[in-house]
């Protein structure tokens, strides 16, 4: 479902609107993912507002106010849709990190454990097998190493150090929760 996105700057006389088909944000309304489509200049103005620290409004049933996470850099991906229409994805750099906090996009809910498992395998040397993916997913959520962001797109924030992960997996093997 498309929702209207609005950016207004009364001092500069800017009032632009575009549409979003998806977004994800953290507990302090910091945007991590924003998909925008609409008139070329409106989309660019809104994405520029986000990356420069301005507040934007998503005019949904319950309005959402989003702003930049000042601890993040952003990447903007463009796709021309023809006749002055533009689609942009504003993505936090954490989607591209292999170290530190990582953001994981989940297209389908049932794929979340496997997406998490692959991400952990890419960045950590802790021995694991794919059969543990459900257990790992549930355990990391319980241990606050995995947080689901708010919004209309499912994005997971993975925040765990390798030594913590090693301890969790070792504990799971010792307790018999998981087996080789």
Question: How confident is the model over 82-101, as pLDDT tens digits?
Answer: 889 999 999 999 999 877 88
Residue 159's pLDDT is: 93
Q: String of b and e for 114-139 (b: at least 16 CB within 10 Å)? A: ebbbebbeebbebebeeebbebbbeb
Q: Are 68 and 34 in contact (CB under 8 A)?
A: no
Res 75: pLDDT: 97
Q: Which domains does the chain have, with CATH numbers?
A: 3-93 (2.40.30), 97-175 (no CATH)
Share of the chain above pLDDT 70, in %: 100
- What mean pLDDT comes out for the span 21-29? 96
Confidence at residue 122, expressed as pLDDT on a 0 to 100 scale: 87
What is the residue-wise DSSP string for 23-64?
Answer: EEE-TTSBEEEEEEEEEHHHHHHHHHHHHTT--EEEESSS-E
Q: What average pLDDT does the segment 113-124 reach? A: 92
Under the banding of pLDDT at 50, 70 and 90, the label for residue 123 is confident
Determine the pLDDT at residue 100.
Answer: 81
Comparison of pLDDT for 124 and 53, the residue scoring more:
53
Mean pLDDT of the chain: 94
């Amino acid at each position: 479902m498309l929702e209207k996105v609005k950016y207004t700057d009364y001092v500069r006389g800017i009032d632009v609107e575009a549409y979003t088909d998806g977004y994800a944000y953290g507990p302090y309304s910091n945007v991590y993912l924003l998909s925008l489509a609409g008139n070329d200049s409106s989309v660019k103005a809104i994405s520029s507002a986000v990356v420069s620290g301005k507040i934007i409004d998503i005019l949904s049933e319950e309005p959402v106010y989003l702003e930049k996470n000042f601890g993040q850099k952003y990447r903007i991906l463009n796709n021309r849709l023809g006749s002055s229409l533009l689609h942009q994805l504003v993505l936090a750099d954490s989607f591209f990190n292999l170290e530190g906090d990582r953001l994981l996009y989940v297209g389908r809910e049932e794929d979340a454990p496997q997406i998490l498992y692959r991400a952990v395998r890419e960045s950590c040397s802790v021995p694991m097998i794919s059969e543990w993916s459900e257990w790992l997913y549930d355990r990391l959520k319980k241990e606050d190493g995995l947080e689901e962001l708010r919004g209309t797109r499912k994005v997971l924030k993975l925040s765990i150090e390798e030594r913590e992960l090693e301890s969790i997996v070792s504990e799971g093997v010792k307790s018999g929760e998981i087996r080789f």
